[in-house]
Amino acid sequence: MDYNYLITTEYDGEVYSTHRINDFVNASDAWQKIKDHGNAKEFARYTILDPTGSSYTKSFYAKNG
């Protein structure tokens, strides 16, 4: 099966997970659900790569204190 979208999650600079998604609707739904720093101690970075090779990134920082 070909996957058209790739979503990568990084916590504190290390790759935590990679999800391969084959259609726009599911990729869009997954992307919209990303709203915070997740399990990161300092920061989280989420990147989606689309079929044209474009990438988009969301970054979140954990609140200290």
pLDDT digits 0-9 by tens, 6-62: 999 999 999 999 999 999 999 999 999 999 999 999 999 999 999 999 999 999 999
pLDDT of the residue at 55: 97
Q: How far lies 12's CA from each of 33, 39, 45, 50, 65, in Å?
A: 20, 9, 8, 24, 17
pLDDT of the residue at 63: 84
Whole-model pTM? 0.90
